[in-house]
Structure 1
Amino acid sequence: MSVDVNEAFADERATQLRAARDWERALQDRLAAGELELLPDGRYRVLTGWDAGEILSAQGVPQHGLDLSLGTAALYTAVPAWHTLGNVIPGGTSDIDKVLELGGIDYQVESVPAQYPWNGETRVDTTLHHTVRTDTGASLGVVRNGYEIIQNRRAFEFLQELANDDEAIWESAGALRGGKKVFVAMRLPQHVTVDADGINDSIIPFIVAINSHDGSSSFQVVATPWRPVCGNTERLAVEHAFTRWSIRHTRKATDRIKEARRTLGLSIKYYDRLADEETALARTDLAINEFNELIDSLWEPDDTATPRSTRTREARRDRLHALLAEETERTGRTAYAAERAVTDYLDHYAPIRPSAASGLKGNKPAARGLRLLEGTDDDVKSTAHRRLMLLRRR
């Protein structure tokens, strides 16, 4: 039976056009229903359902940056997320071995000498080594002598004690950039309530541990409050409370991890202090000029700015005021609303240009997620918090 190629092509193109129209119609329906929000760069933020807070590309496709070395996305999660990617255990688990396996981070890492060709022979650089995955043979990075590999299980197993003692649940785990960076997140059983007699805002407490195998960063454990109403990470420093703990990849690094269990007790107390300070901000009125002063203190004006940077600054100020207006409708014009506006801007709207060195060039959503995970903007958030706390003492 012969096939009319032109007719077949026309049918295929008609099918593609129908699919595009159906997708566009579905997208507009979701926007109209308040399920999606159009972001300034043309992407979309999911506002409802299991995927609330996730970012879609301009074509409506989620971009994740998860490790795909073994053919599937390296992700374990306690709730359906990442748009069907990864392995889901509804409600989560407290079994670390299951978490490592399903999160695709149960591999080992070895150090091998760095070699290079020279005049037809292979030479060894005795000052450098490659870190290599033993399951795929992939090189993860080049490190100097003295670099101590912290295996994934050793890095995260101390949190198992927290799960056993306090009924905490492993919320998620996974690998990024081909396994160069791995993470686990543990959800603590108690919730934090801000201004229980007023706005009654809920913050979910997490402990996140992050390990790297490419020499780019230390092993870190951070307290990471998450605000479900907008998907913000409320990670900021409060008075006399621990928020971050790190270990460099040097000798005896794995021995120092044993200290983490004691330190975690201090990080859990952080959430009590956080609730107290955020409640104080929720009860502190804010004038518009005070918000403008806050913006200028975080992003200082530049008298020599170019027209382009001036437009960027004006766009940032406009966005921050719009976010403040949204928060004011719900919580009143308070220092708390101002802090939420700054956090929302940093988490979801601030410009980001992922470099080739990051391994995420061109993938802004994944790069933004990595910024949240690593706390790139924590210092700005903490500065805003400290300045707003001064208003409380007027």
Structure 2
Amino acid sequence: MAHNINFNEQTGRHSFFSVQQKAWHGLGQIVEQYPTSEEAIVHAGLDYEVIKSPLFTQGRTMSIGDSGELIEANDILVPNSFATLRTDTNIPLGVVGKDYHIVQNREAFNFFDAIVGGGEGILYETAGALGNGERIFITAKLPDYIRVGNGDDVTEKYIFLTTSHDGSGSITAAFT
């Protein structure tokens, strides 16, 4: 299976980090200490903003100018349609409608901090971006375990958050 981890040509880095373990597919950054969510954004290359820009298409339209001259236009505005763009690379992430609300990566991570409490025992373990950065994620290891049977089968608990900047989904947080 292809990894689909974003590669930022400007920074020369993959948008992924993990703590103390070889990064996914050997890509991304390995850090020794569990970061805060603010540090995780930087380690994973998610410290970019997303904007919504009017969408145009190429075409040929003719109109009469104020002085009566014929004006030819090549760009036609697509009504109620917008492109989402990364401001660091100007790469389009998706096409959305006029009511689409951008949730910046920092806002999503702040929301995640609120969910997990951002307190003692919460360990941010991985974060990254897929595609051109249109889908981002973060995982946090929770401080407790699930013990099955006589207690010999121990499973760590995690919670993850993902969201998209292309209109394909909303913020989702789930246990794993």
TM-score in terms of structure 2 length: 0.84
**1:204 counterpart SS class:** strand
Q: Root-mean-square deviation (CA), in Å?
A: 1.7
For 1:210 and 1:164, the matched residues in 2 are separated by 17
AA partner of residue 135 (structure 1) = D
Provide the residue aligned with 1:36 in structure 2: none
Provide the residue aligned with 1:206 in structure 2: 158
Tell me the number of residue pairs that the alignment of Structure 1 and Structure 2 aligns.
Answer: 160
Deviation track 1:211-246 (CA, whole Å, cap 9, x = no partner) reads 10111111101111xxxxxxxxxxxxxxxxxxxxxx
Deviation at 1:202, TM superposition (A): 1.6
**1:100 counterpart SS class:** helix
**1:178 counterpart SS class:** coil
| In the alignment, structure 1 residue 190 sits paired with structure 2 residue 140 | no
Task: Work out whether residues 123 and 141 of structure 2, in 8 Å CA contact, stay in contact via their aligned partners in 1.
Answer: yes
| In the alignment, structure 1 residue 172 sits paired with structure 2 residue 126 | yes
AA partner of residue 142 (structure 2) = L
Provide the residue aligned with 1:87 in structure 2: 29
Decide which structure has greater strand share: 2
2:86 to 133, 152, 158: 133
Instruction: Report sequence identity in percent.
Output: 30
1:1-394 alignment, distance < 5 Å: 63-70=2-9, 71-78=12-19, 79-93=21-35, 95-119=36-60, 120-161=73-114, 162=116, 164-197=118-151, 200-224=152-176
Task: Work out whether residues 23 and 29 of structure 2, in 8 Å CA contact, stay in contact via their aligned partners in 1.
Answer: no
Deviation at 1:83, TM superposition (A): 4.6
Q: Which has the larger radius of gyration?
A: 1
Structure 2 gap ranges (5+): 61-72
For 2:155 and 2:44, the matched residues in 1 are separated by 25
- The structure showing larger relative contact order (alpha-carbon pairs under 8 Å, at least 6 residues apart) is 2
Decide which structure has greater helix share: 1
Label 1:164 to 1:155 Cα distance change in 2 as closer, same or farther (>3 A). closer
Label 1:83 to 1:73 Cα distance change in 2 as closer, same or farther (>3 A). same
Structure 1 runs (4+) deviating above 6 angstroms are none
Deviation track 1:230-277 (CA, whole Å, cap 9, x = no partner) reads xxxxxxxxxxxxxxxxxxxxxxxxxxxxxxxxxxxxxxxxxxxxxxxx
For 1:80 and 1:121, the matched residues in 2 are separated by 50
Task: Work out whether residues 111 and 129 of structure 1, in 8 Å CA contact, stay in contact via their aligned partners in 2.
Answer: yes
AA partner of residue 69 (structure 1) = N
